[in-house]
Structure 1
C-alpha cells in the first residue's frame, strides 16, 4: 500500500531538484506508458528515486472501457514494468483511448449501460489476472452525458468493484469538472461514491472557460495549481473516505519543482490536520 501522505507526479526535469530537496513527499507517480522501453535515462532516474520512495504506476493506454479486446502485448509489458519496480499501486482509467488499432491520445467517456458494465468488468478481471495484482480504477472527467446511460456513474463504479475486487482512485478534480459540466452537485456525488474502496486520491488543476455557445465549460487540463473549490471538495472527500494517499498531478505547462512541492505540502497539511483531529 502507498503511505497515507502527499505525493507528486515525477517529471524528469525535476530529478535533480527532487534529489536535493528537503521537502517531504511520501510517494511518486509516473505514467506507466512512459517506461515501457528497456532502458535509458528515464529508467535510470526512476530507479534512483524508487530506492527511497514508494511508487504508484498510473496507466493511460489500456482502454479498459473500449469495445475492442485489451492489447495482450501491452498488458504483458505492463506486467514486466510492475515486476521490475514492484510499485505499491497500479491504476487505470474508466475510459477508452483506442479504436481499430489506433491510439487516440485521450481518455474518452463511455455510456453507463449493462453492456458496457459487463465489458469493463471483463477487462478489469483480465488486467488484474495478467498483472497479478489488484488495480485501482479512476473516475473520469466528463463534459457531456450519454442519453443511452441507464446506470448512475457511482453505481457503475460500485458494481465494477463488487464483481472484480478492484479498488478506486478518486480524482477530486474530475468530480468537480464532471459535476459542473453536467449541472450536478459535486458534494452530493462524493456522498454517493463507493468511499470504502478508495485507495488513492488525485488533485489537479482545471481551466474554466466557455463553449461555442457561451455556456460555462470546465476542462481537466493538469496545467495549473489546484483551485480553491477543489481544495474544499478534497476536505469533504477526506472526511468521507478517511485520509488517503494524495497525488498532485501536473502534466502540462509543468512548473519548477518548488511550485509542485508547495502544492503537495498543502495536501500534506490537510492530511495531518485530519489525523490530529481524530
Structure 2
C-alpha cells in the first residue's frame, strides 16, 4: 500500500512548488487544422492543450508548429494512454516518452484520466471505467505516486465520463477521487461535462456530485460537448463525443462551479467535427466572460 501523503495545496498548474501554472483563463485544444491561423492571428487565449500521445515522436510537422506556438502561449499536456486505473503495472516505456515530452516543452500543467485503456499488453482505444473499491484505490494511488515521482511534478486526475457502474464498488466516485487526492497529493481536473453526462446517465444530481468532490484540489476545468441518445430502457443516454458545442446545462453548471471555486484555468474541448477556429474562440469568450465575473 502506498504511504499516505498530506493533501497538496490547490494549484492551477500541477507543477512543483515555485513553478508558474496556467493562468485562470480559457484555453483551447491545439489542432493541426488551426496551426497556421494561430500563428498568423495570435488569438487572445489563456493557453493551449495537447494530447501527449500525439506528440510522442522525435520530429515532424506537429513538433515544428508546437514549438512555435509554445513560444507564445502557456501549454497544458493531457495524457490519454497511461491507463492509471489498469490492473497491470504502468508501461515504463510510455512513461519515459511522457517524461521526455514534458522535459522538451515544460508545460504548465499535466493531467490524466481516472480510467484504464490497456490490459495484457493490448491497448484499447477507449477510456474505460473501474470499480471503486479498496483494491482499485490502492492500485490507482500507487500508479499516481509512480507518475508524480517519475515526472517530478504534481499531476491532475480527471473525473471520467461513464455509462456503466460496478456492483462491486464500495466507494462513490466522489469518495474514491477524494481518497486518491488525499493519499497522493495529486490535484483534480474537474470535467464539468463529464460530471453532468455521468450523472444524467446514472440518474443522479450533477451538482450534488460536484459538491462531494475535493474541490479545493481543483487545478483545471474541462468543458465539452456530447451526443444524445436513448438506452435500451428508454432513458436518456449522453455520449462523450467532444464533437459539439458545450451544452447550456453544462454552461450553467460551470457558472455555479466558478461561484464555488473561483476562476480557474478552463479548457473548451473539441476533438471531433472540429469547426473553424473563430467558432471555438467564440466559445472561449463565453468562458472568459464567466471567469471575469468571479475574478477578484
TM-score under structure 1 normalisation? 0.97
Q: Secondary structure at the match of 2:287?
A: helix
Give the equivalent residue in structure 2 for 1:77. 97
CA pair 22-77 structure 1, distance change in 2 beyond 3 A: closer
Contact in 2 for aligned 1:154/1:193 (Cα 8 Å)? yes
Give the equivalent residue in structure 1 for 2:245. 225
Give the equivalent residue in structure 1 for 2:155. 135
Question: How many angstroms does 1:22 deviate by?
Answer: 5.5
1:49 aligns with 2:45: no
Give the equivalent residue in structure 2 for 1:23. 43
Q: Secondary structure at the match of 2:82?
A: coil
Deviation digits for residues 155-182 of structure 1 (CA, Å, limit 9, x no counterpart):
1111111111110100000000000001
User: Which of these residues, 151, 159, 178, is aligned with residue 158 of structure 1?
Assistant: 178
Question: How many angstroms does 1:215 deviate by?
Answer: 2.2
Deviation digits for residues 81-120 of structure 1 (CA, Å, limit 9, x no counterpart):
0000000000000000011111111000001000100000
Give the equivalent residue in structure 2 for 1:94. 114
Instruction: Number of aligned residue pairs: give it.
Output: 276
The correspondence of residues 56-67 of structure 1 with structure 2, limited to 5 A, is 56-67=76-87
RCO greater where, 1 or 2, for CA within 8 Å and sep 6 or more?
2
Deviation digits for residues 225-257 of structure 1 (CA, Å, limit 9, x no counterpart):
000000000011111221110001000111111
Structure 2 runs not aligned, ≥5 long: 1-20
User: Which of these residues, 197, 212, 220, is aligned with residue 200 of structure 1?
Assistant: 220
Between the aligned partners of 1:255 and 1:248, the Cα distance in structure 2 is: 13
Deviation digits for residues 11-59 of structure 1 (CA, Å, limit 9, x no counterpart):
0110111123353111000000000000000001100000010000000
Question: How many angstroms does 1:122 deviate by?
Answer: 0.2
Give the equivalent residue in structure 1 for 2:236. 216
Runs of 4+ in 1 over 4 A off after TM superposition: none
Contact in 2 for aligned 1:206/1:221 (Cα 8 Å)? yes
Q: Secondary structure at the match of 2:190?
A: strand
Give the equivalent residue in structure 1 for 2:206. 186
Question: How many angstroms does 1:191 deviate by?
Answer: 1.2
Contact in 2 for aligned 1:202/1:249 (Cα 8 Å)? yes
Structure 1 runs not aligned, ≥5 long: none
Give the equivalent residue in structure 1 for 2:279. 259
User: Which of these residues, 197, 200, 213, is aligned with residue 177 of structure 1?
Assistant: 197
1:239 aligns with 2:253: no
Between the aligned partners of 2:126 and 2:88, the Cα distance in structure 1 is: 16
Contact in 2 for aligned 1:191/1:240 (Cα 8 Å)? no
Question: How many angstroms does 1:214 deviate by?
Answer: 2.7
Between the aligned partners of 2:53 and 2:240, the Cα distance in structure 1 is: 20
Give the equivalent residue in structure 2 for 1:104. 124
